[in-house]
Amino acid sequence: MAHLLKKEKEYRYIEVGEGTPIIVLHGLMGGLSNFDSVTNYFSEQGYKVVIPELPIYTMSLLKTNVKAFANYLKAFIDFKGFKEVILLGNSLGGHIGLYHTKMFPEKVKALIITGSSGLYESAMGGGYTKRSDYEVIKKKAQDVFYDPEVATKEIVDEVYDTVNDRNKLIKTLAIAKSAIRHNMSKDLPNMETPTCIIWGKNDTVTPPEVAEEFNELLPNSDLFWIDKCGHAAMMEHPDTFNDILHKWLSEKKF
């Protein structure tokens, strides 16, 4: 199901359903369509699913960092007039969600992270010396998933185009450096927001021990594993992901 992109002021976003807002934060190479199953499922379960297009490649280079995106998210939440939100982030999106929650905890009812950066990530912006070699990029895209078939030609083409666009590559490297710089290990013990951690057991980008460390450091978290699953659980095992998340939200009465 293709969802329409709304354009208001400087914001571009998808909005489906009615109820408590779940704001979905995409990763560095992740299109909004990566969350189609989350959008379709939760918009029918009494939630308003909102996916803002993060200005990863349009922010000035000085503002291409985790903190600036967390502030952008705050401005978007204020623009929409939401009183309380649930944040769901994958990869860089998880990191932005965590950093936003650290800075503005009052409006964040709950946080869901999957394959999130913030503690450690394996070369999020590295290894692009052979970026003009399509097969090398294809292999990098496939390595994100447990099942390489999930990396469709469309996904590989998008990654290839991104790393071969000089402006986008510079921004990608800036964000990767920013993610390392904004390590959150000292912040997490002070963050009381209920957090659901859903992780692929076979994630090679943010390995399983990263999820365990998040769970250890966050005072109010629950950790769930998905087997035979890489870095983007909501794409690789959408039904399992939705099931875990829905049960957690129901138990917490969110």
- Reading the chain (254 residues) residue by residue, the pLDDT tens digits are 567 889 999 999 999 999 999 999 998 876 777 889 999 999 999 999 999 999 989 989 888 999 999 999 999 999 999 999 999 999 999 999 999 999 999 999 999 999 999 998 665 445 555 678 899 989 988 999 999 999 999 999 988 998 899 999 899 889 988 988 999 999 999 999 999 999 999 999 999 999 999 999 999 999 999 999 999 999 999 999 999 999 999 999 99
Q: DSSP per residue over 145-187, as a string?
A: SSSGGGS-HHHHHHHHHHHTSHHHHHHHHHHHHHHHHT--TTT
Q: Are 191 and 110 in contact (CB under 8 A)?
A: no
Query: Which residues make beta-bridge pairs with 197?
Result: 113, 223
118's CB contacts (< 8 A; 6+ apart) are: 94, 95, 98, 99, 179, 182, 183, 184, 214
Query: How far apart are the C-alpha atoms of 235 and 216, rounded to whole Å?
Result: 26
Residue in 174, 231, 185 with CA at minimum distance from that of residue 57: 174
Partnered with residue 226 across adjacent β-strands are: 200
Q: pTM for this structure?
A: 0.94
pLDDT value of position 2? 62
The C-alpha torsion from 5 through 150 and 90 to 48, rounded to 10°, is: 40
Please give, one letter per residue, the 3-state secondary structure of 88-115: EEECHHHHHHHHHHHHCHHHEEEEEEEC
Q: How many angstroms separate the CA atoms of 152 and 78, rounded?
A: 36
Contacts of 22 by beta carbon, 8 Å cutoff, 6+ apart: 38, 42, 47, 48, 49, 50, 85, 86, 87, 88
What is the distance between the alpha carbons of residues 205 and 30, in angstroms, rounded to a whole number? 14
pLDDT at site 146: 96
Yes or no: say if 181 and 207 are a contact pair by the CB < 8 Å rule.
Answer: no
Give the burial class of 137: count Cβ atoms within 10 A of its Cβ; 0-12 exposed, 13-18 middle, 19 or more buried. buried
